[in-house]
Amino acid sequence: MASARDGRLLSYEITGDPDGSPVFLLHGTPGSRLGPKPRSSVLYRLGVQLICYDRPGYGWSDRSDQRTVADAAADIEDLADHLGLESYAVVGRSGGGPHALAAAACTPKRVSRIAVLVGIAPSDADGLDWLGGMTDANVQEYETADTDWRKHVERLRLKADRARRDPESMVDVLRTQMTDPDLKVVDDIVIRRLLAETYREALRQGPFGWIDDVAAFRRGWEFELKDITVPVLLWHGADDNFSPVSHARWLAREIPHAEVRIQASTAHFGAVEVLPEILGWLVADEPALAGHPPMPLSLS
């Protein structure tokens, strides 16, 4: 555990090479520090010290009521100070994507480069149909959050209670909404087990981290994308229907010098499989991703 500057406790886990290049992996929504990640042997081969932490309200981390997306930058910086790290890279997966962008915009002197995997754009993104292409369940969740907050909170409370009792039921519900590429990933018994584990851990305190994530996404992010000056890689599966590829294309237009990679025949959970390759890009002296074959997937 580490202390944030306001006294909150942040739960984190470190895997991989203790002498490797530090990379923060930011989990999805809902999610936790236990989310799918490469085995230590893969991280050693890459030379990566991987740091995963529970955002406020998830896992063992204290809640931060009314937090914004931008607030994540300070929490990451506080964790880095706790660990004695001067600089670090950041990768955000799904709901972790906006928080990775916040670190790049708000603490540019500490962040070397960032990657966003299947991330989302700001809800007020000019010219973007924000809900277009999302699953019916996602559309309903965000629309209810906008129109009936109490109903939205109660829905997430019931989902969290069910997931704590039977976390695999959450995977089963997600499966009904998935495209074929995602089904191929999630039907792997190891991936299914890891997802169930991270959902159970994410919701151990209840729905608070999930509630606060959704609220933060639908409010202003409290930073400007144009202020990002570090190298940024945006990766997205072309068939993603949880956070549609249109979000990555919009972000690529707004972030200076961002590189975007859209992978065909891949969807949302393809971000799990591509992570070793992305980590290699984050810590490379001369990052170059396009045209390089992906590393074999090996998860813990």
pLDDT of residue 293: 40
Using DSSP, state whether 240 is helix, strand or coil: coil
Q: Is 146 within the bounds of a domain?
A: yes
Residue 207 lies in a domain: yes
Identify the pLDDT of residue 188: 93
Residue 292 pLDDT = 40
Render pLDDT for 8-30 as a digit per residue (tens, 0 to 9): 999 999 999 999 999 999 999 99
Q: What is the per-residue pLDDT for 224?
A: 95
Q: Would you state the pLDDT for residue 109? A: 95
Task: Domain count for the chain, please give it.
Answer: 1
Which element (helix H / strand E) includes 25? strand 21-26
Q: Does some domain include residue 165?
A: yes
**222 is in which domain, residue-wise?**
2-283
* 143-192 per-position pLDDT tens digit: 999 999 999 999 999 999 998 899 999 999 999 999 999 999 999 999 99
Specify if 290 maps to a domain: no
- Using one digit for the tens of pLDDT, what is the confidence trace for 214-242? 999 999 999 999 999 999 999 999 999 99
CATH of the domain at 179: 3.40.50.1820
pLDDT at 288 (0 to 100): 53
In-domain check, residue 172: yes
106-145: pLDDT as tens digits: 999 999 999 999 999 999 999 999 999 999 999 999 999 9
If pLDDT is split at 50, 70 and 90, which confidence band does 291 have? very low
Provide φ and ψ at 26, rounded to 5°.
Answer: -100, 125
Average pLDDT of the chain to the nearest whole number: 93
Model confidence, pTM:
0.92
**Residue 144 covered by a domain:** yes
How many Cα atoms are found within 13 Å in the side-chain-facing hemisphere of 173? 15
Asked whether residue 296 is assigned to any structural domain, the reply reads no
Query: What secondary structure does DSSP assign to 148-185, as a single string?
Result: -HHHHHHHHHHHHHHHHH-HHHHHHHHHTT--HHHHHH
| 82 within some domain | yes
